[in-house]
Structure 1
Amino acid sequence: MSNNRVQDLKPGDTARVVRFAKGDRGYRQRLLAMGVTPGVVFSITRVAPFGDPIEISVRNFTLTLRKTEADILEIERV
């Protein structure tokens, strides 16, 4: 069930990164450097009023992603 998108989740939802979609290699490298790796579990902390950006909690820190940035993550709900 890896066709879920981060922006479809609501605050409190938890998901696992399955893989990265093809996209900006530089941005993918930045996510990896911040600990967003395949297999990592994260939760949605907050979503802005119009759904952009989205704040996630991963590896004991929060990270804010724009919808376009979050599209690179292929996830599954946990």
Structure 2
Amino acid sequence: MRLTDLPLRQPAYVDMIDWSAINASEGQRLREFGLCEGASVEALNRGRVFFFFGHGPVACRIGRMTIAMRRNHAAAITVRTGPDGIAAEKTA
């Protein structure tokens, strides 16, 4: 499931990131925030200004850091929940 579809406050883990959907400088910034495959992530809030158009930002927690990211960046992130995600974090 995409990060944009993750229910609010549900812990998940990054499964895959489509870096080609994110320009290089913005991708580098997200990497510096700790966004990588296997990182814990949680959607906290979605911007309401453009909610019906799907353009508002997504506030999320990556590890222990809270950031706001563009919705198109969040849509490029595939996450997983449940036992598979827990096992991945324990081995990392």
Give the TM-score taking structure 1 as reference length: 0.79
State whether structure 2 residue 14 is matched by structure 1 residue 17: yes
Which structure has greater helix proportion?
Answer: 2
Q: Quote the Cα distance in structure 2 between the aligned partners of 1:11 and 1:18.
A: 18
The correspondence for 2:58, drawn from 47, 54, 57, is 54
Give me the whole-angstrom Cα distance separating, in 1, the residues matched to 2:13 and 2:64: 15
Q: How does 1:1-78 map to 2 (within 5 A)?
A: 4-21=1-18, 22-23=20-21, 24-49=23-48, 50=51, 52-78=56-82
Mark the runs of 5 or more structure 1 residues left unpaired by the alignment: none
Give the number of equivalent residue pairs: 75
Structure-2 separation of matches of 1:53 and 1:66: 5
Q: Normalized against structure 2, the TM-score is what?
A: 0.69
Is contact 1:10-1:47 (8 Å) kept?
no
Alpha-carbon RMSD across the aligned residues, in angstroms, is: 1.7
Percent identical among aligned pairs is: 21
Which structure shows the bigger proportion of residues in strand conformation?
1
Distance 1:13 1:59 in 2: 13
More RCO (CA 8 Å, sep 6+): 1
